[in-house]
Amino acid sequence: MRALCPPGWVTWQDSCYILLPEKMNWTNAFSVCDRPGSAMAIPESQKEQDFIWLEMKTQAIQNGLIEEDENCLWIGCKKDLMNPGQLSCPGKKVDSNYTNWRKNTYRHEGQDCIIMQSNHKGKWGDGTCKHTVFAACEMRVPPPMYCLTADVDGRFTPQCLLNHDIKNLTTKGVIGCGQACWAEPRCHSFNLWQQGKKCQLNDASRLEADVTDFKNMKGCSFFEL
């Protein structure tokens, strides 16, 4: 099965991938990719490793983000400090023991996050988690599901999430705005205004936002992925 991916994402087997547009530390990159059905990319075979490394490098070069030999890329794994020699990979999809370590690595104290290294042709090394490099998100075929959340009393009061917008655009209703949110890795929710004609993408879900950021507003509806 081949995935049907949102605009801007690329397809490989049953997953979709996208390069984040700016360098981030490991924690921030993991947070951006952490949405329902999505996580920071983790190679689980040599074929997937080669695809992610070459495709994300190509995207970065085409978008003018790096020079030919600059690319480094976080993967969604850290050292498992409770089990030396093992990895903790929260977004792991399958039971795979695949690794792609370069020689003489996984032994640097204080370097707990795993990175594909440009000077080793994408082989893995351990890096300082506060270091800023690029990362890629991966998601399986996304379910077309968007949730209109109710108040504590079960009513659907028109309200919007404020102070978290990352993009405003014109779309056709819930489906169009939801697809735009899926295509934007930073999007965790969206507001619909003007009877579904105006779409506002947000970088926070209901749980991530402060309760004071929600306002009852006529003609506005808040949806989560």
Collapsed DSSP state (helix, strand, coil) of residue 61? helix
Query: Cβ contacts of residue 89 below 8 Å, gap of 6+?
Result: 42, 75, 76, 77, 78
* Greatest alpha-carbon span in the chain: 61
40 strand-pairing partners: 137
Strands 134-140, 73-79: pairing is parallel
* Structure confidence by residue, pLDDT tens digits, 108-150: 666 889 999 888 889 999 989 999 999 999 987 755 566 666 6
Among 51-55, 60-64, 175-179, 218-222, the least confident range: 60-64
Query: Model confidence over 46-61: pLDDT tens digits?
Result: 999 999 999 988 888 7
Assign 173 a pLDDT band (cuts: 50, 70, 90). confident
Return the pLDDT at 26.
Answer: 96
Q: Are 214 and 199 in contact (CB under 8 A)?
A: no
Q: What is the spatial distance between Cα 167 and Cα 137, in angstroms, rounded to a whole number?
A: 19
- Alpha-carbon distance 17 to 139, whole Å? 7
Domains belonging to the chain, first-starting first, are 10-140 (3.10.100.10), 147-224 (3.50.4.10)
- Burial 182-193, CB ≥16 within 10 A → b, else e: bbbbbbbbbbbb
The residues facing 74 across adjacent strands are 115, 135
Q: Residues of the chain with pLDDT > 90: what percent? A: 34
Tokens of 64: 């003018």
